[in-house]
Amino acid sequence: MNSSQIVMLSIVAVVCAGCMPTGSPVSSPPGIADEDFNIAWDATNEVLREYRFFIDRADRREGVITTFPMIGKHWFEFWRKDATTRQDLAEGTIQTIYRCVTVGIRRQAPQGTLRADDKKYLVDVRVLTSRSDRLHPQVTSTSEAYDLFINPDMPRIAPLTGLGGPKSSGYVSLGRDKNLEQVLQREIYLLMAKKQTMYTR
């Protein structure tokens, strides 16, 4: 092998080495969802719709779904399921209770470290409850009832803080509804398992 052939082989080796990838492999961006993520995402949306929540934000890249506040169930609304206890049902009947759901979907562990029976994606459900801080109009005389028909557009709801108090936000936080959180999470996991079984047949 002469010197010119050696030089040519060296150049080819250098060029090929420069084309090879270096460092750790590049993972898929968050927006590229795999089949298991799609199953968790679809199951979450279906369960929220089944419980009559309306989607406010659906961010697949972040894995976050939020709903608009929904007025709680009254005692005669037998077709609804958002009131999980008798106390919740009683509170929703005597006053206006709002429930807002936030669901986060995240991978449980790095790819390749899960066992066969592990869930690839975990679903974190948070249900925040609140009530209105405004007084609803009460009709206590014939003239007030007549006025409701004459001037229906006149605002008749005032904040509990009073006319001279600070501006009201309209809602008073009541904390989390952990019972409904558990119910929704269980329903989502059951539907995920059902969909996984259907897709793997």
Residue % of the chain over a pLDDT of 70: 59
**β-strands 134-135, 158-159: how paired?**
antiparallel
Most confident of 87-91, 118-122, 152-156: 87-91
**Cα 191 versus chain centre, distance:** 16
pTM of the model: 0.64
Q: Which residues are CB-neighbours of 149 under 8 A, at least 6 positions away?
A: none
Q: Which residues are CB-neighbours of 103 under 8 A, at least 6 positions away?
A: 44, 48, 64, 65, 66, 123, 124, 125, 126, 184, 188
Residue 32, pLDDT > 80, answer no
Question: What average pLDDT is seen over the chain?
Answer: 76
Flag the least confident range among 99-103, 154-158, 164-168: 164-168
pLDDT digits (tens, 9 = 90+) for 43-94: 999 999 999 999 999 999 999 999 999 999 888 888 888 888 898 888 888 8
Straight-line distance from the first to the last Cα atom of the chain, in angstroms, rounded to the nearest whole number: 60
Question: By the 8 A CB rule, do 92 and 77 touch?
Answer: no
Question: By the 8 A CB rule, do 191 and 39 touch?
Answer: no
